[in-house]
Amino acid sequence: MNIGEIARRAGVSRSTVSYALSGKRPVSEDTRRRIQEVVDELGYQPSASARALANGRTSTIGLVFPPAGNHYTGMQLDFIGSVVEAAAAYDYDVLLSPSGVDSDRSFQRLLGERRVDGAILMEIRLRDDRLDHLAAVDFPSVAIGRTAHPEGSWWVGLDHTELVQRCVHHLADLGHRRVAFVNRPQQLLRAGYESAQRGLDGFTKAAAERGLTVRTYCCGDDAASGQACVQRILHDDPATTALVTLNEAALGGLYRGLAQADRLVPRDFSVTGVVAGRWAETVTPQLTAADVPAAEMGRLAVELLVERLDQPGARPRHHLLVPPISLRASTGPAGVPPGPDLGPATTP
């Protein structure tokens, strides 16, 4: 059933039906009601494809996120959920595109075939060819994350440098002198993932400022890797008393590694980092962390994109978020670290 059918049954022309439905031209109350009746009776809904073809807008936004394999993290889930929800509020649908790079088939389809009006990108790299490409063709998009040179572009990001610095200062204030940093997987760091790179920067800088003895580690996005990472940390420097992490997926494994090494959190060992709030609360003791406001970021990204779509030519806008550290239960004053085989340290 199509608009012609409605028109015929209502005894009017197709254009009148179109206008009656869109309200873009006045229609007499009489005919409008007659049309509405037919529409209701037949449950007519205009075809999205035809409409998209005619007016050049799909009412769909693309959400570009990295292909799996790299396991997804809870944070990504929160982003996806909030983007979809926020988009629905503006009557946009969301098309998912698993694309790591510019040249991915899925990414090319999204743009080249004009399946979406605009795009939101996740998992930004400091140099990101997807964003370069989008900027080059002036395609409306908003990044969740910030490149090395975000000037003049649309994004909503987190100040990872600052957040990790705060974590380090928090630990230093508690008296910790030997601290480890547990980053995302090496391959992501190498690829220039923003959070991994900026987080590492912040860690290094703050550690130097406070004169801490530190080591940095890359860690796979899963529990087993986290557990192994803690073993390495304690092997490399058994006197380590705290760690900072960005690696949400490894968190459970980090805790397990510590338990296995008989380091009680937070008495013998403190843990903190940057993690989405819901996930920080699933571990015991609950993680003191800068909570990634994933839901808010997703919502803001959609708002920016909608604004950009509604007002082509609008000046680029962005949001840089710096959520506070939520003090929970995983950090405490540094005790005397246990020597090998001497059992847990005694807290003064």
Residues of span 180-239 touching DNA by CB under 7 A: none
11 binds, among DNA, a copy of itself, none (CB under 5 to 8 A by kind): DNA
55 touches DNA (CB under 7 A): yes
Nearest CA to 188 among 199, 178, 179?
A: 199
Q: How far is CA 147 from the centre of its chain?
A: 14
3 touches DNA (CB under 7 A): yes
Q: Please list, in sequence order, all residues whose beta carbon lies within 8 angstroms of the beta carbon of residue 224, skipping any fewer than 6 positions away.
A: 253
Fill in the DSSP letter of residue 248. Answer: G
Give me the numbers of helices (H) and strands (E) for the chain, helices first please: 14, 12
Angle at 151 between CA 150 and CA 157, to 5 degrees: 40
> What distance in Å separates the CA atoms of residue 299 and residue 304, rounded to the nearest whole number?
9
| Residues 235-274, mask of contacts with a copy of itself (x by CB under 8 A) | --------------x-xxx-xx--x---------------
| Residue 341, helix vs strand vs coil | coil
- In this structure, is the dihedral angle defined by the CA atoms of residues 208, 325, 149 and 109, taken in order, positive or negative? positive
Nearest CA to 75 among 227, 223, 297?
A: 297
82 touches a copy of itself (CB under 8 A): yes
18 touches DNA (CB under 7 A): yes
Min separation Cβ 43 and DNA, Å: 12
14 binds, among DNA, a copy of itself, none (CB under 5 to 8 A by kind): DNA
Q: Which two tokens stand for residue 156?
A: 């909503």
Min separation Cβ 77 and a copy of itself, Å: 4
Min separation Cβ 260 and a copy of itself, Å: 8
228 touches a copy of itself (CB under 8 A): no
Helical spans, DSSP H, in the chain: 3-10, 14-22, 29-42, 48-55, 74-89, 105-112, 129-136, 160-173, 186-191, 194-209, 223-236, 251-260, 277-280, 294-310
> What distance in Å separates the CA atoms of residue 32 and residue 276, rounded to the nearest whole number?
50
> What distance in Å separates the CA atoms of residue 255 and residue 318, rounded to the nearest whole number?
36
**Helix 105-112 and helix 129-136: axis angle, to 10°?**
20
Q: Which is nearer to DNA, 10 or 218 (CB)?
A: 10
Q: Which two tokens stand for residue 277?
A: 């709030």
- Determine the interface stretch with a copy of itself among 172-180, 198-206, 216-224, 228-236 (rule: CB under 8 A): 216-224
Residues of span 151-170 touching a copy of itself by CB under 8 A: none
- Determine the interface stretch with DNA among 43-51, 97-105, 129-137, 328-336 (rule: CB under 7 A): 43-51
239 binds, among DNA, a copy of itself, none (CB under 5 to 8 A by kind): none
Q: Which two tokens stand for residue 305?
A: 């994109």
Angle at 126 between CA 120 and CA 130, to 5 degrees: 45
- Determine the interface stretch with DNA among 40-48, 237-245, 274-282, 324-332 (rule: CB under 7 A): 40-48
14 touches DNA (CB under 7 A): yes
241 binds, among DNA, a copy of itself, none (CB under 5 to 8 A by kind): none
Say if strands 325-326 and 141-144 run parallel, antiparallel, or are unpaired: unpaired
Residues of span 56-75 touching DNA by CB under 7 A: 56
Residues of span 42-81 touching a copy of itself by CB under 8 A: 43, 45-53, 58, 60, 63, 67-68, 71-72, 74, 76-78, 80-81
Residues that bind a copy of itself (CB under 8 A): 43, 45-53, 58, 60, 63, 67-68, 71-72, 74, 76-78, 80-82, 84-85, 88, 91, 93-98, 105-106, 108-110, 112-115, 222-224, 249, 251-253, 255-256, 259, 278, 281-284, 286, 295
Residues that bind DNA (CB under 7 A): 2-4, 11-16, 18-19, 21-22, 24-28, 30-32, 44, 46-47, 50-51, 53-56
